[in-house]
Amino acid sequence: MTGWTGGQRSVGDIAPALAHYTDAVLFDEVWERPALAKRDRSLVTVAALVTLGAVEQLDFHLAFARDNGATEEELVEAITHLAFYTGWPRAMAAMGRVRAVFRAPGESAPD
């Protein structure tokens, strides 16, 4: 157990059961299973969110993926690849979130 508390902090005041399942089951159990590295779990999660068009969840998961060892380049490439399978609008919306998470306002991509 890692003692994850993000669910409690984000929705614990209105949805204590959802906060519990988020923290204790999803992050303290599922994310800690050894059969898949956290980096790989993050790539799969980002891919699923892009496919679903769930961009409101991407800011957290893009930063979490970076913390788990995925690079910005890998995430951009994965989203670009997904454009062919899940649709251009979803990939373009996801790239907007990539820009917001990885760049300061007005900052351009690294050369």
Q: Which pTM was predicted? A: 0.88
Counting residues of the chain whose pLDDT is more than 90, the rounded percentage is 89
What are the boundaries of each domain within the chain?
1-35, 36-111
- Does the pLDDT of residue 1 top 50, yes or no? no
Domain spanning 36-111, CATH architecture:
Up-down Bundle (1.20)
Q: What is the pLDDT of residues 32-71, one digit of tens each?
A: 999 999 999 999 999 999 999 999 999 999 999 999 999 9
Q: What is the pLDDT of residue 51?
A: 97
Please tell me the total number of residues recorded for the chain in this structure. 111
- Does the pLDDT of residue 104 top 80, yes or no? no
Neighbours of 13 (CB within 10 A): 9
The upper half-sphere exposure of residue 81, i.e. CA atoms within 13 Å in the direction of its Cβ, equals 11
